[in-house]
A and B are shown apart, each in its own frame.
Chain A
Amino acid sequence: MNRVFVLMARDPDTGCATAAAAVVGIAPGQAGCVSWVPYQDLGEGWRARLAATTVSLEEALASWAERADGVASDVVELEAPPSPDLRGAVEAALDEILAMGRP
């Protein structure tokens, strides 16, 4: 079963982690996948964090979600969009963010 999460970064305008930086997907027995919101400067911290992660995405997500405080960062799980594959679910979720016109 696919699980899809949005990585949120702090937005100076709101004072909260309301800037979507990326969508991450995990599924049992599969390597996870990440799709970044292009040109999202506020997501640099998440990029650095992901690049330095040495455990599985599933394990990392659990830790990030546990530690996310909603102010500096957040991890929001979405209902996975229907898709034949995990990548498709992730990209469909990212499309919802892109369509908002204010990533």
Chain B
Amino acid sequence: MGGGGKKAHESLVVAPAAAGVPEGLDGVSEADLEALEGPGAAAESLAAYDAALAKATAATHCGDEPAQAYQVVAEAVGEAKAELANAADAGLPPQLVAEHHKAISGLTKEYLGSLDPAELQTLAAAQGFEHPTLVGLNTAAGGQHPLVHWLDPAYGPESPSKLAIQAKAAERYGALAAGESVGGQTLADVQAAEAHLGTGPPPPGSWKASPADVVAAQAGLQDALVAFHPLGPTTADSGLGALVAAENHLATASCPELGDGLTAAQGAGKAAVDKAVTTLTPKLHGDVVALVDAAHAEGSLDTPEAKYLSHAQQLALLRASTAGAEREGLTALASERQDQVTKLGALDEAYQSQLSGGHIGLQSTAGLAEFASTAGSYFQARKSVASWAATANASAEVVALSGQAWGQNVPVEVLTKDFRSWAKAQKLTDLRAVATSMGLSSSPGASRAEVQNFIAARWDTSLDQQKIAATVAAKATAKPPPPPTAPKAAAAPKPSAPKPAPAPATATPAPPPSPSPKSFAAKHLAIVEALKAHQAIAADIPARMPASEVGSWSFGAAKAANLGGGHAKTLHAAPDGSMWMFKPDKTGGGARAHAEAAASEIFSKVGVPSVPVYSRSIGGQPGSIQPLVSGATNLSGDPKSWSQAEVDGIVRYHVAAWAVGDHDGNPQNIIRTPSGGMCPVDQGQAFKFYGSDRLDVGYHPNSSYGSVPVFHQAYQAAKSGQLAAGVTVRPEAALPTIKAFEQLPDASYRAMLGPVATEGVARGVHWVPAMRKAAQKRLGKTTVTNAEVAEEFLHTAVERKNGLRASFAKFYGGLGFGGAAKIEKVA
């Protein structure tokens, strides 16, 4: 065994044995460990990684000036990251890559966290950060300063969270320049505080200006702001091009005579433009595209910037007022994304070449391990690209390669199914041999299903390779399986080469400093980690089960403290291991939960996809509970991006939403599911406005709060030509849903809504006064009992259900949509 082997093994020894395997990563197998014991590229790279990290560790303890120490730490961390990447390329298992990266970030976080704000600001300014005194305002005791993250060399400059920190500092400077104060500070305060930090480089394209030129540039910007119209038809010019040009003219002016007055004028200009473009409307998206095309043609944006960044990121690059460090980060991000696309393209080719007619093309199990590895790498790369593909300017091109973020599991499931079918024709002994070569120990005792699943888990993250290996091992030994890394971790470490540093980083990876447990950051971390670590979040909308079954389940203790929020929520594991969210219904005393659960059940009955919601009590508190679905994204707020299938889905959703009186279906409340469907996720306002609502395109009771239902947006977009070419509102799309409602027996419908009616009346919810009035009118009485009000609610619901066909025929006819007549004619 060479020196590299010793180093690699040493790293394994110190890997935290108790740590869970991060989601999506494979467990470390015996074969992995054995492979690293011998000399090889991975072991050599890990040895170099150890040395680099030891150098970084030594620098953090050397007592040098922060600037010198930081320089050494940053360089050494860069080397360690590069060696870790080499080791990963050479086959270091992902779990170990993650653990080693954790060791790097633990070290850097601890080191930077030990510096005081003034030191962080000086370091950041030296690294090109503009206005470092404007972040980390009142960092609480035990809290982390944002510059700790911005300076962290464990993460690249392209990290969106680093870009956000610089962007926020620049934005605050602009606000101060515009005469605002932030935390009691004025522009003069900040200029004084930063006088010793020096100024950043001038923006590209600086020009020599006289004071009069600057005044003229300010006036030009003012004119452009007045002429700027981000709303309205996408065919009309918003004036964005003129606005950016005017801002750039001012931002690039160089006028030493004006001194700080110039930076104040430029900052104020930036603040005004920031405010004007806060919300990228559909019209602005289109105008950014035009500006990007022009900038690309003239060479001021390169191809990765023009293709792979989002419109918000591109707009930042087009604006000369964007801080230099932010600009560099955006350029790095574009380049990184281009590399991801290139890698995915190569993997796509390699993966497709292994298929024959869309199916696994292998004649035997020879080459199966390589096939599985390629498929795993391909789907992982695909998922990475898909996470940003839809927001990229060249989204059509990138999505064609990566697929949509919400559709990642579909080809994976197809491959797994195909593999199972193909594997049936293979000998079990051959499959076992492949599984053994892929790290399944005790494979002779593994069943065919276990072996197949173990192999498929290399690409299909819904299968837990580690769990399968543990089950197989347990069968073999009839004892509980040990933790995956425990055997090696417990082994005596082999002698290691002398280290150049007193405290080798890999031997004692510094745990990242924990935020104060009461802070938002700590609570957020707990929730996100509970969710991400949990392997059983549904990958698509789960089928609705009978409420009685869910009612009988015993949900585990809350997995994480809730963040707070409008309704305190907790996460619970169901008996089948899936993750559910419970929302206590404090204000409605259970009435709201019943309404949401009933709406969800009705949606399910009429074929409109929805996340199943059930009324439940947990810990004596009434509320609602629902399974969580990962991998889904929100419906875009831009009607132009909606497909015909989505608009048809919106039409069907409208029928169901009207039936249950839900007027809160804005795009934020609609998700695109992993399998590509569209699904409303929040019927918390179901029935709220019953009795006082109208089926009217102008009726949206939440519009004052910025919430217009997605169906009304679709109708308005259709009328004003804002849907994509060829996409229309087809009233006949509503027919299947209307028919499904008509087929629901009245008695069943009343039974579903019974608890909504009785609990609603008992709790005096929002719809009760309207229903009381309606009952009085219908029954011809001046006073009615609660039972009569509840009955009126049920009567209204059934009447509405049975009148959907006539109501929607009239509604669509009134809007002038072709096809409205079909609703009444087609059975």
- A residues contacting B by CB (< 8 A) are 6, 8-18, 20, 35-42, 44-55, 59-60, 63-78, 81-85, 87-89, 91-103
Would A72 and B528 be within 8 Å (CB), given that A39-B164, A65-B566, A102-B161 are in contact? no
Taking the complex as formed, is B427 at the interface, i.e. its CB lies under 8 A from any CB of chain A?
A: no
From B61-69, B145-153, B212-220, the one touching the partner chain is B145-153
Residues A67 and B685 in contact, CB atoms below 8 Å apart: yes
Q: Min CB distance, A60 to chain B, in Å?
A: 5
Note all chain B residues with C-beta closer than 8 A to A85.
181-184
The answer to whether B527 touches A18, judged by C-beta atoms less than 8 angstroms apart, is yes
B: interface residue count bin: 35 or more
B520 is an interface residue with CB less than 8 A from chain A: yes
The DSSP consensus for interface residues of chain A is mixed
- Is B342 among interface residues, defined by CB-CB distance under 8 A? no
Closest to B629 in A: A15
CB-CB < 8 A to B135: which residues of A? 95, 98
Q: Whose C-beta in chain A lies nearest to the C-beta of B581?
A: A70
Q: Are A52 and B161 in contact (CB under 8 A)?
A: no
Tell me the B654-676 residues at the A interface (CB within 8 Å). Answer: 664, 666-669, 671
A68 touches B138 (CB 8 A): no
Question: How far, in angstroms, from A78 to B405 measured CA to CA in the complex?
Answer: 32
Q: Who on chain B is nearest to A52 by CB?
A: B706
- Give complex CA distance A103, B146 in Å: 12
Q: Kindly name the residue among A9, A39, A78 whose own CB sees the greatest number of chain B CB atoms within 10 A.
A: A39
Interface residues of B in 136-193 (CB under 8 A from A): 136-140, 143-146, 148-149, 152, 155, 159-165, 167-168, 171-172, 175, 180-185
A13-B532, A38-B171 are contacts. A54–B155 as well, Cβ < 8 Å?
no
Residues in B whose Cβ lies below 8 Å from that of A103: 160-161, 164
A72 touching B668 in the complex, CB below 8 Å, given contacts A64-B705, A66-B566? yes
CB of B637 closer than 8 Å to a CB of A: yes
Bound: A21/B634 CA distance, A: 14
Task: Give 1 or 0 for each of B603-643: 1 = CB within 8 Å of chain A CB.
Answer: 00000000100000000000000101111111011000000
Q: Which of B138, B152, B159 contacts A82 (CB 8 A)?
A: B138
Q: Are A96 and B520 in touch, CB under 8 angstroms?
A: yes
Per the bound structure, the CA–CA distance linking A60 and B182 in Å amounts to: 24
- A49 partner residues in chain B, CB cutoff 8 A: 666, 668, 705-707
Contacts of B278 in A (CB 8 A): 36, 47, 51
Shortest beta-carbon distance, B573 to chain A, in Å? 14
Q: CB-nearest residue of chain B relative to A84?
A: B184
**Chain B: interface secondary structure?**
loop
Chain B residues 553 to 608 lying within 8 A of chain A, measured CB to CB, are 563-567, 569, 579, 581, 583, 587
Instruction: Say how far A48's CB is from chain B's closest CB, in angstroms.
Output: 5
User: When the two chains form their complex, are residues B521 and A100 in contact, meaning their CB atoms are under 8 A apart?
Assistant: yes
Of A6, A14, A71, A81, the contact of B140 (CB 8 Å cutoff): A81
B164 lies within 8 A of A95 (CB)? no
B702 pairs with A72, CB closer than 8 A: no
Is B139 in contact with A95, judged by CB distance below 8 angstroms? yes
Most chain A CB inside 10 Å of its own CB: which residue of B527, B538, B705: B705
Q: Is the CB of B706 within 8 A of A51?
A: yes
Q: Known interface pairs A85-B183, A99-B139. Does A6 touch B630 (Cβ–Cβ under 8 Å)?
A: no
B38 in the interface (beta carbon within 8 A): no
Chain A residues whose CB sits within 8 angstroms of the CB of B587 once the complex forms: 66
**CA A65 to CA B587, docked complex, whole Å:** 12
B residues 382-440 near A (Cβ < 8 Å) are 391, 405-406
Task: Among A55, A68, A83, point to the contact of B565 (Cβ < 8 A).
Answer: A68
Please indicate the chain A residues that have their CB under 8 angstroms from the CB of B391 in the complex. 41
Instruction: Tell me if A64 and B566 are in contact (CB < 8 A).
Output: yes
Instruction: Determine whether the beta carbon of B148 is less than 8 Å from that of A99.
Output: yes
Question: Do A98 and B164 form a contact, CB below 8 Å, given A64-B705, A81-B138?
Answer: yes
B279 adjacent to A48 (CB under 8 Å) = yes
Chain B nearest CB from A57 CB (Å) reads: 10
Q: Give every chain B residue within 8 A of A50 (Cβ-Cβ).
A: 279, 706
Q: In this assembly, does B708 line the interface, its C-beta being within 8 Å of a C-beta of chain A? A: yes
Within 8 A of A (CB), among B269-302: 278-281
Q: Kindly state the separation between the CA atoms of A37 and B164 in the bound complex, as whole angstroms.
A: 7
- Evaluate contact between A97 and B528: CB separation under 8 angstroms: no
Complex Cα distance, B524 from A54, in Å, reads: 30
Is B531's beta carbon under 8 Å from chain A?
yes
- Give chain A residues whose Cβ lies under 8 Å from the Cβ of B163: 38-39
Q: Which of B155, B159, B161, B581 contacts A71 (CB 8 A)?
A: B581
Which residues of B50-97 have CB atoms within 8 Å of chain A's CB atoms?
A: none
Residues of B near A46 (CB, < 8 A) are 668
B463 part of interface (Cβ distance < 8 Å): no
**Could you tell me if A72 and B682 are in contact, using CB atoms closer than 8 angstroms?**
yes
Q: Is the CB of B563 within 8 A of A76?
A: yes
A67–B633 contact, CB under 8 A?
no
The CA-CA distance from A48 to B283 in the complex, in Å, is 13
B682 contacts across to A, CB distance below 8 A: 67, 69, 71-73
Cβ contact of A18, chosen from B172, B184, B531, cutoff 8 A? B531
Give the docked Cα–Cα distance between A102 and B172 (Å).
Answer: 20
Q: Closest B residue to A82 by CB, please name it.
A: B138
